[in-house]
Amino acid sequence: MPRPRKWRRVCCLPDNTDFGPLNSNGENKDFIIMTVDEYETIRLIDLEGLTQEECSIQMNIARTTVQRIYNEARIKLADSLVNGRILKIEGGDYELCHGAGKYCGRGRCCRGRREDRSGKEG
């Protein structure tokens, strides 16, 4: 029996979940699904500048798992950009953080930023 998948800690869900070419009429059924945890690795490593080790601590998973998720996410991003396919962010094995992680107080957790912007939890 396979080992159960570990839930990946994610700070918040993305504001926008559909991306693609501007000339798309939305009827294109040829789209790519990026999971929320793949989105989170891109956000933490590429946008926030965390190392894979720091990302693994934030997401509460092994560094090798972060590396695999990150590589899969980059392939999906490249496919969308190069081939003009619509990218949708949805699904995955994740849980939202509670703002108490190691990096949550250092500006890397978007949960606090959303609360500051809107006055409520995002």
Distances from the Cα of 39 to the Cα of 3, 26, 28, 58, angstroms? 24, 22, 22, 14
DSSP H or E run through 87? strand 86-89
For 64-119, write each residue's pLDDT tens digit: 999 999 999 999 999 999 998 999 999 988 998 876 656 565 555 665 544 444 44
Q: What is the pLDDT of residue 115?
A: 45
Q: Please give the single-letter amino acid code of residue 70.
A: Y
The tokens 């930023």 sit on which residue? 113
Distance between CA 98 and CA 109 in Å, rounded? 10
| Domain layout of the chain by residue ranges | 8-15+30-118
